[in-house]
Amino acid sequence: MSLKQQISDDMKAAMRAKESERLATIRLLLAAMKQKEVDERVELDDAAIVGVIDKMIKQRKDSIAAFTQAGRTELADKEAAEIKVIEAYLPQRMSADEVAAEVKAIVAELGAKGPGDMGKVMGVVKTRLAGKAEMGQVSAAVKAALAGG
């Protein structure tokens, strides 16, 4: 079953179970997916859907930071609950050690040295690790690998 179909099925299940918060979050996810399909005139595959999910999680984490700083814990809690629902659709993430090992292999493969090659390395890393690792963690691993090399 495709990820898109699973999300649609989960929306129907949330409707039947009258889980209003979960339903609202799944609808936001479906709307973001539909928006991307309309904007780019494409049918999203699982990898593209994971990209949409990553973007939504990053937005929510930014919102949590802003709400927490402003003392609006109820809004931060709502965003955190949405993250939990959305994260369920992500594939298994790589551990920090796995990310570091993969990044080191790519750096060696490209013969990259120093911070000046960061862009070249990130381009390759993004395509290989898309959906498998959180990009903030990947970026830190690339910086560490290039600083050490």
The pLDDT of residue 92 is above 90: no
Which domain does 12 fall in, by range? 3-87
CATH code (residue 111): 1.10.10.410
Quote the number of domains for the chain: 2
**Confidence check: pLDDT of 76 > 90:** yes
Which residue, of 67, 87, 107, is where some domain finishes?
87
Specify the CATH number for the domain of residue 45.
1.10.1510.10
Question: In terms of domains, do 80 and 27 share one?
Answer: yes
Q: Same domain for 39 and 79?
A: yes
88: closest CA among 18, 19, 16?
Answer: 19
Q: 74 and 123 share a domain?
A: no
Give the pLDDT confidence score for residue 14 in this predicted structure.
95
Q: Residue type at 5?
A: Q
Task: Tell whether 64 and 134 lie within a shared domain.
Answer: no
* pLDDT band for position 85 (cuts 50, 70, 90): very high
Confidence (pTM):
0.73
> For 99-127, how does the pLDDT look when each residue is reduced to its tens digit (9 = 90+)?
888 888 888 887 777 777 778 888 888 87
Residues 17, 59, single domain; the answer is yes
The per-residue pLDDT for 79 is: 96
CB 87 within 8 A of CB 79: no
For the residues 35-64, what does the mean pLDDT come to? 91
At 66 the pLDDT is 96
110 and 135 belong to one structural domain: yes
